[in-house]
Each structure stands twice: as C-alpha cells, then as structure tokens.
Amino acid sequence: MRGTAMIALLAISCVLTACAGSGGGGGGGTPRPACKPPAQPTISFSSNIQPIFTASCALAGCHVGAVPTGPVDLSVGQTYAQTVNVKSAQQPTLKRFLPGKPDLSYIIRKIEGGPNIAGVQMPQGCPGAPLNGAKCLTPDNIAAIRQWVTECATNN
C-alpha cells in the first residue's frame, strides 16, 4: 500500500514538474514577439506606407479627421495606432493589419478587392474612377503594403 502511494506521488510530481517549465504563455516571463522583423526592412512605414494612405485614403469624406466617414483615420500620426493589431470593424475576427500575416490582414483584403470583404474594394471606385480625389492603388503600392505587413508592420 505504501509503495503504491509513493508511486502515485512520484507520478504526480513528475507531471507537475513537466508542466511548470516553459509553458504556453500563461504565467510570467517575457512573452515572445509574434513576429520578428528583419534586421534591415525593405519597406518603411513613414517613407513608403503612410504616403500611400495619405494620397489614396486620408482625404475629405474618407478616412481622415476626428470622425472619419470610414471607421478609421488614416492621416499622418493616426494610421499606425488605428490599424496595426486592431480588430476590423467590418470583420472583427480579423485584424486590420496582422504583423507578419498579410493574408490575414483585413485592409490587405479590402485593397486587393478579395471575395471575403464587407462592402466594396478600397479606395472606393477603384479600379477605375476613385471618389473624392483619391488615387487608385497601383500594383506596386499594394505590393509595398503587403511586404510591410510581411516584415512585421513596424512603425519605422
């Protein structure tokens, strides 16, 4: 009887010790970043990405100002905080931009005009005749945004 109790205690001890190690992020320690950016990113948010949003999205009647027509302000100084790791209002199961995962980033879907979007492709009227003086995104613009997200969507 005593031997059986000892074996049971030893088994419980082994299980608890195994579970106390480097578990899945529930307790203490420094969490690992979800996305590790490259040492030398090829795309800069401030130099490459924000200018695209400024020319094509952050316009009167669209994504600009304290109460933008679109639910997100894409003007200088606002875009990053309102898009990276922020849930989409139209598809709450997706982030607007999910660092490292362009295919799971809702804004990528909206600008590419994919089938899994609510509403219309952005900028409105593109391809073709954009609204409010916006410029349609070029394939290079879309590729730059996609690459920036792939490189972890850093605020550089």
Q: Is residue 13 situated within a structural domain?
A: no
Domain that holds residue 76: 43-156
Q: Is residue 101 situated within a structural domain?
A: yes
Three-state DSSP state, 25:
coil
**Confidence band (pLDDT; 50, 70, 90) for 59?**
confident
Domain count across the chain: 1
87, β-bridge pairs: 95
Q: Is residue 99 situated within a structural domain?
A: yes
Percent of the chain with pLDDT over 70: 79
Q: Is residue 11 situated within a structural domain?
A: no
**pTM of the shown model:** 0.77
Mean pLDDT lowest among 27-31, 72-76, 79-83: 27-31
Q: Is residue 9 situated within a structural domain?
A: no
Dist CA 108 CA 111 (whole Å): 5
Q: Is residue 152 situated within a structural domain?
A: yes
Q: What is the pLDDT of residue 69?
A: 77
Q: For 121-129, what is the mean pLDDT?
A: 91
